[in-house]
C-alpha cells in the first residue's frame, strides 16, 4: 500500500471506522474476513465485555449509517432523534434475544462475511439442553484436561463446518485463522483455551429451564412448584429415560444449576459442585439423581434468595 493510500485509510479509521469496509463506488459493505470481523468487533466493544451496548452501540450505529454516505458526511450528522428511531428499527431486526444490546452472534448476522466463517455463528438449531453440550464437551476434550485447547477447538470447528456444508473444503490455514478468531472472541481470560463457561457461549443451549420464574420467586416459588414442573425438569435431563439423571445428564443439570450462581466456571468448579450436591441429596450414594432427589434440589433452588448478585 502506498503512503498516500495508507494515510487515507488512517484518516478514515479516525473519522469513521466502518468506512474502510465499504466499497468506494457502490458504498456497499465488502465481504469481511475473519480477522476484519474481529477488528470491527474489538473496535466497538471497547470495554471487552462481550456486548456492543450503550454509548458503544450509539457510536457503531452512527458510523454504520454515515459510512454509507459520501466521505464528507461525519457520524455526527446522524441526529439524536434519528439515532433513537434508527436504534429501535435496528434492534427489532437484529437483537434476537431482545436484551437491548448486540452480541457477537447478532453482529455476525448484520455484516457480510466469508460464508464459512459466518456458518460458525449460525446456530439456527441451538442445543436442546446442557446434556447435549456436555456430550460434545466430552467428545472434544480428548485429553480430559478440563479445557478445550486450541487444537481441540480446531477439530470442533472443522466438524461444525463439515456438518453445516456437508463437504470438507476448508483449508488448514483457514481453520487456524477461524480458531484464533474464536479464541479472541470467547477466551475471556486469555489463557489460550476455552473453559466450560467460555465454550457455553460459543455453543449456546436453547434454554436454561432453571432460569424460569417459578425458581426465582423465593419461598412463594417453592409452593408454586408443581409436580408437572418437576416431571418436566426430570424428563429434560433424563435423556435415556432410565429413571435416573447420571453421567452427562447429571453434569448438564449441574452446569445449568451452577450458571445461576457463577458466571465464570471451569470443569473443576463443576466437579466440586457435583461433589457438594451429591453429598447433600444422594442418600443412596449411587452417584445418580432420582426424581425424589431432584425434587429436593428444585425445592431448595426455589427457596433460595435469588436477589443476590451472581458471583463471578
The tens-digit pLDDT sequence of the chain (312 residues) is 556 555 555 555 557 899 899 888 888 899 998 889 989 998 999 988 888 999 999 999 989 888 887 666 666 667 888 888 888 998 898 888 788 899 888 888 888 888 788 777 765 557 888 999 999 999 999 999 999 999 999 999 999 888 877 566 788 998 999 999 899 888 989 999 999 999 998 888 887 878 776 665 554 555 577 888 889 999 999 999 999 999 999 999 999 999 988 889 999 999 999 999 999 998 888 999 999 999 988 888 777 644 454 554
Q: Torsions phi, psi of 262, nearest 5?
A: -140, 120
pTM here is 0.76
pLDDT at residue 279, as a whole number? 92
Give the domain ranges of the chain: 3-113, 130-202, 209-303
pLDDT at res. 196: 96
User: What pLDDT score was predicted for residue 213?
Assistant: 66
pLDDT at 139: 96
DSSP secondary structure letter of residue 237: H
Q: How many CA atoms lie within 13 A of 298 on its CB side?
A: 28
CA 165, CA 174: separation in Å to the nearest integer?
Answer: 15
Q: Does domain 3-113 have CATH number 1.20.1270.10?
A: no
How far, in Å, CA of 88 to CA of 312, rounded? 32
Spatial separation of the C-alpha atoms in residues 88 and 282, rounded to whole Å: 50
- The rounded distance, in Å, linking the Cα atoms of 55 and 87 is 12
The CATH code for residues 209-303 is 1.10.238.10
pLDDT (0 to 100) of residue 13: 52
Is the fold of 130-202 the same as that of 209-303? yes
CA 200 to chain centre: 6
Residues sharing a CB contact under 8 Å with residue 103, sequence separation 6 or more, in sequence order: 50, 51, 97
pLDDT at 52: 93
pLDDT for the residue 94: 86
Count other C-beta atoms under 10 Å from residue 291's C-beta. Answer: 15
DSSP 14: H
Q: Please give the Cα distance from 211 to 245 (Å, whole number).
A: 19
Report yes or no: 184 and 117 within 8 Å, Cβ to Cβ: no
Distance of alpha carbon 83 from alpha carbon 158, whole angstroms: 40
Our measurement of the distance from residue 196's CA atom to the centroid of its chain's CA atoms, rounded to an integer in Å, reads: 12
Q: How many CB atoms lie within 10 A of CB 139?
A: 12
CATH number for region 130-202: 1.10.238.10
Q: Is 171 helix (H, G, I), strand (E, B) or coil?
A: coil
Amino acid at each position: 500500500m502506498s503512503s498516500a493510500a495508507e494515510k487515507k485509510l488512517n484518516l478514515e479509521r479516525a473519522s469513521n471506522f466502518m468506512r474502510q469496509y465499504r466499497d468506494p463506488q457502490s458504498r456497499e459493505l465488502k465481504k469481511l474476513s475473519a480477522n476484519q470481523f474481529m477488528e470491527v468487533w474489538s473496535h466497538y466493544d471497547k470495554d471487552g465485555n462481550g456486548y456492543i451496548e450503550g454509548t458503544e452501540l450509539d457510536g457503531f450505529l452512527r458510523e454504520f449509517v454515515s459510512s454509507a454516505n459520501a466521505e464528507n458526511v461525519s457520524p455526527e450528522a446522524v441526529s439524536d432523534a434519528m439515532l433513537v428511531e434508527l436504534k429501535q428499527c435496528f434492534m427489532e431486526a437484529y437483537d434476537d434475544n431482545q436484551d437491548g444490546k448486540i452480541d457477537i452472534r447478532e453482529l455476525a448476522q448484520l455484516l457480510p462475511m466469508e460464508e464459512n466463517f459466518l456458518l460458525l455463528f449460525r446456530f439456527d438449531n441451538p442445543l436442546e439442553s446442557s446434556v447435549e453440550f456436555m456430550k460434545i464437551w466430552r467428545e472434544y476434550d480428548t485429553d480430559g484436561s478440563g479445557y478445550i485447547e486450541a487444537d481441540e477447538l480446531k477439530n470442533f470447528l472443522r466438524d461444525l463446518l463439515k456438518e453445516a456444508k456437508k463437504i470438507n473444503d476448508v483449508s488448514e490455514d483457514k481453520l487456524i485463522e477461524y480458531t484464533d478468531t474464536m479464541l479472541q472472541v470467547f477466551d475471556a481470560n486469555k489463557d489460550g483455551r476455552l473453559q466450560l463457561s467460555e465454550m457455553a457461549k460459543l455453543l449456546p443451549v436453547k434454554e436454561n429451564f432453571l432460569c424460569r420464574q417459578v425458581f426465582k420467586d423465593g419461598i412463594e416459588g417453592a409452593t408454586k412448584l408443581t409436580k408437572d414442573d418437576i416431571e418436566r425438569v426430570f424428563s429434560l435431563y433424563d435423556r435415556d429415560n432410565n429413571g435416573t439423571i447420571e453421567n452427562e445428564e447429571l453434569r448438564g443439570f449441574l452446569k445449568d444449576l451452577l450458571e445461576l450462581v457463577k458466571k465464570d466456571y471451569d470443569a473443576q468448579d463443576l466437579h466440586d459442585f457435583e461433589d457438594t450436591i451429591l453429598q447433600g441429596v444422594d442418600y443412596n450414594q449411587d452417584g445418580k439423581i432420582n426424581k425424589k432427589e431432584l425434587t429436593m434440589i428444585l425445592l431448595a433452588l426455589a427457596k433460595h434468595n435469588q436477589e443476590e448478585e451472581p458471583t463471578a
